[in-house]
């Protein structure tokens, strides 16, 4: 019977000693290298320590190593650890979509530039907080998130986004994505069957809602945001909206529609899920406060660190009306028992010290400059292009001059190695009106790549065959 042994370098070997110990060790290591479990560059334990772990003579291990070196699997230098030098033939990796592979410039919406993460500020805060984190924080804590982050967020959200919350009603989650999945599960368990969603909206969220067992009911948006009269005609018990900056149209929910949405929720005892994905970034005018403060019992406010810090953190937060708290905790506990605590402590420190605000202000100025640059380039090169939506966030909607199809735009973008989305990517019904409008995400490129990405966009727009 093979025996599993752990070596001092945590190398788990399946050892079959039926043909002798030396052969068993040799073949276990050979197999691990051939399987790719031991990769080139990996150092093996010293013969002395492996021999001790396996309870065999050191010479037995040395002989096995020598044999594997002779076969070309291991290399060793005098006095240094034996090292794997052989690699199995590379497996073929599935090819990326050709357009994605080719695109050199990236103006897709939704991504903050990789260069904007405040590494030094984060590192300083991490050094500050790490020694202070209580030992028990590294156990299974409160699945709603650390008290420190919830306290910091409750005051930040009240101050910066006009959200009414208390730490007990806040839940930390893995970005908006997880918050939506949790809310949908809570709704489904409470008997809800359908969720209304803005049309257009990000398709991945339609998928999350339907995966949770809720029917997606599309409700059209216009220049004032979601059409609340149309919403009232649906059977939905909940609605997902982006009131501060409709995604991707870029408009704000009008004051009249804000009131109507709250009326709808009260009349139906329904739930509004407010996705405030980029509410921090409004240029020139003060931001619109959260809808949630109009009725915290009927609105779940969801915020995310994905735009201000980076999606890789997977950090978001939501306010929960009192009846939803226990059910949401049950879902969260079952899903993952809470999020990584070190990042929560660091973010709480950054918010408390004011560094988060400073970072957001810096980013806001940077995105505003980029938006201005984009508008100036359009005015100079494509004066017939029409930009819609408010001056906010990290994307805008652009109608190229003439009657140009979305396919023609994407084909031109591919020729210029530019990655773009059109409105069609977000519409519920294929080929709906306006589908050839372009959504330009100006937050994505790193600083050095922004100008060339804009040049590529201008080249695409000026090359379009009007009427194609």
Q: What are 356's two structure tokens?
A: 């988060």
**176 counts as binding ligand PLP under rule CB under 6 A:** yes
Nearest distance from C-beta of residue 29 to ligand PLP, angstroms: 43
Residue 197, classed as helix, strand or coil, is strand
Span 45-104, contacts to ligand PLP by CB under 6 A = none
Does position 243 interact with ligand PLP (CB under 6 A)? The reply is no
- Taking the complex as a whole, how short is the minimal distance between the CB of residue 310 and ligand PLP, in angstroms? 9
Query: β-strand 395-399 against 438-441: which pairing, if any?
Result: antiparallel
Q: How far apart are CA 267 and CA 294, in angstroms?
A: 15
Q: Are 270 and 278 in contact (CB under 8 A)?
A: no
Q: Which of 199, 275, 280, 349 binds ligand PLP (CB under 6 A)?
A: 275
How far is CA 362 from each of CA 167, 351, 357, 369, 392, rounded to the nearest angstrom?
27, 15, 9, 11, 14
- Distance of alpha carbon 82 from alpha carbon 68, whole angstroms: 10
242 touches ligand PLP (CB under 6 A): yes
C-alpha count within 13 angstroms, C-beta hemisphere, residue 79: 0
Q: Which of 282, 279, 260, 281 is nearest to 270 (CA)?
A: 260
In residues, how long is the chain?
Answer: 468
Alpha-carbon span 286 to 120, nearest angstrom: 29
121 vs 284: CA distance, rounded Å: 26
How far apart, in Å, are the Cα atoms of 372 and each of 283, 369, 394? 10, 5, 12
Q: Which stretch binds ligand PLP (CB under 6 A): 25-33, 174-182, 344-352, 404-412?
A: 174-182
CB 382 within 8 A of CB 462: yes
Provide the minimum distance between the beta carbon of 306 and ligand PLP in the complex, in angstroms, as a whole number.
3
**What DSSP letter does each residue of 308-367 carry, written as one string?**
TT-GGG--EEEE--HHHHHHHHHHHHHHTSS--HHHHHHHHHHHHHTHHHHHHHHHHHHH
Under the binding rule (CB under 6 A), the answer on residue 445 touching ligand PLP is no
**Closer to ligand PLP at the Cβ: 350 or 408?**
350
Figure out which of the listed residues 112, 113, 145, 175 binds ligand PLP, where binding follows CB under 6 A: 175
The residue from 15, 84, 103, 110 that contacts ligand PLP (CB under 6 A) is 110
x/- map, 297-336, ligand PLP, by CB under 6 A: -------x-x----x----x--------------------
- 293-318 burial code (b ≥16 CB/10 A, e <16): bbbbebbbbbbbbbbbbbbebbbbbb
Q: How far is the CB of 173 from ligand PLP (least distance, A)?
A: 9
Q: Which of 47, 144, 165, 177 binds ligand PLP (CB under 6 A)?
A: 177
Would you say 24 or 338 has its CB closer to ligand PLP? 338
Binding ligand PLP (rule: CB under 6 A), the pick from 5, 105, 247, 442 is: 247
CB of 250 to ligand PLP, least distance (A): 11
Tell me whether residue 245 or residue 416 sits nearer to ligand PLP (CB atom): 245
Tokens read off for 109? 């919406």
Give the residue carrying structure tokens 């216009």.
222
**Does residue 367 belong to the site contacting ligand PLP (CB under 6 A)?**
no
| Nearer to ligand PLP (CB atom), residue 242 or residue 436 | 242
Q: Which stretch binds ligand PLP (CB under 6 A): 4-12, 169-177, 208-216, 264-272?
A: 169-177
Neighbours of 55 (CB within 10 A): 8
Least distance to ligand PLP from the beta carbon of 459, Å?
26
Contact between 277 and ligand PLP by CB under 6 A: the answer reads: yes
344 scored as a contact of ligand PLP (CB under 6 A): no
Using Cβ positions, the residue closest to ligand PLP within the complex turns out to be 175
Closer Cβ to ligand PLP, 24 or 109, answer by number: 109
**Residue 317: CB minimum distance to ligand PLP, A:** 10
Interacting residues toward ligand PLP by CB under 6 A: 110, 175-177, 202, 242, 247, 275, 277, 304, 306, 311, 316
């Amino acid at each position: 019977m093979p025996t599993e042994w752990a070596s001092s370098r945590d190398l788990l070997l399946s050892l079959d000693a039926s043909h002798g110990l030396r052969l068993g060790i040799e073949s276990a290591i050979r197999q691990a290298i051939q399987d790719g479990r031991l990769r080139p560059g990996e150092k093996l334990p010293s013969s002395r320590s492996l021999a001790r772990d396996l309870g065999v003579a050191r010479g037995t291990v040395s002989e096995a190593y020598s044999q594997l070196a002779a076969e070309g699997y291991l290399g060793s230098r005098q006095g240094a650890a034996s090292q794997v030098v052989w690699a199995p033939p590379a497996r073929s990796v599935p090819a990326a979509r050709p357009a994605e592979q080719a695109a050199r410039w990236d103006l897709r919406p939704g991504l903050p530039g990789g260069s904007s993460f405040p590494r030094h500020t984060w590192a300083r805060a991490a050094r500050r907080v790490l020694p202070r984190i209580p030992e028990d924080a590294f156990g299974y804590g409160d699945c709603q998130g650390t008290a420190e982050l919830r306290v910091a967020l409750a005051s930040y959200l009240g101050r910066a986004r006009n959200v009414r919350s208390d730490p007990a009603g806040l839940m930390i989650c893995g970005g908006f994505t997880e918050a939506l999945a949790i809310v949908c599960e809570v709704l489904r368990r409470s008997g809800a069957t359908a969720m209304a969603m803005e049309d257009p909206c990000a398709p991945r969220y339609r998928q999350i809602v339907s995966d949770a067992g809720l029917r997606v009911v599309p409700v059209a948006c216009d220049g004032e945001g979601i059409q609340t009269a149309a919403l009232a005609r649906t059977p939905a018990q909940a609605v997902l909206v982006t009131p501060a900056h409709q995604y991707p149209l870029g408009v704000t929910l009008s004051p009249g529609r804000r009131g109507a949405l709250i009326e709808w929720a009260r009349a139906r005892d329904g739930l509004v899920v407010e996705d405030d994905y980029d509410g921090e970034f409004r240029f020139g005018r003060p931001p619109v406060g959260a809808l949630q403060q109009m009725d915290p019992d009927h609105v779940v406010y969801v915020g995310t660190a994905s735009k201000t810090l980076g999606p890789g953190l997977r950090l978001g937060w939501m306010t929960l009306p009192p009846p939803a708290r226990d059910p949401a905790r049950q879902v969260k506990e079952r899903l993952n028992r809470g999020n990584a605590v070190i990042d929560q402590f660091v973010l709480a420190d950054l918010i408390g010290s004011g560094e988060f605000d400073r970072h957001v202000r810096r980013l806001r100025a940077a995105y505003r400059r980029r938006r201005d640059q984009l508008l100036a380039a359009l005015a100079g090169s494509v004066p017939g292009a029409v930009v819609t939506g408010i001056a906010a966030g990290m994307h805008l909607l652009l109608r190229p001059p003439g009657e140009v199809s979305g396919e023609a735009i994407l084909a031109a973008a591919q020729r210029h190695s530019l990655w773009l989305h059109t409105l069609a990517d977000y519409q519920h019904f294929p080929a709906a009106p306006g589908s050839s409008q372009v959504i330009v995400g100006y937050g994505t490129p790193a600083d050095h790549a922004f100008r060339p990405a804009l040049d590529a966009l201008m080249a695409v727009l000026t090359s379009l065959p009007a009427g194609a």
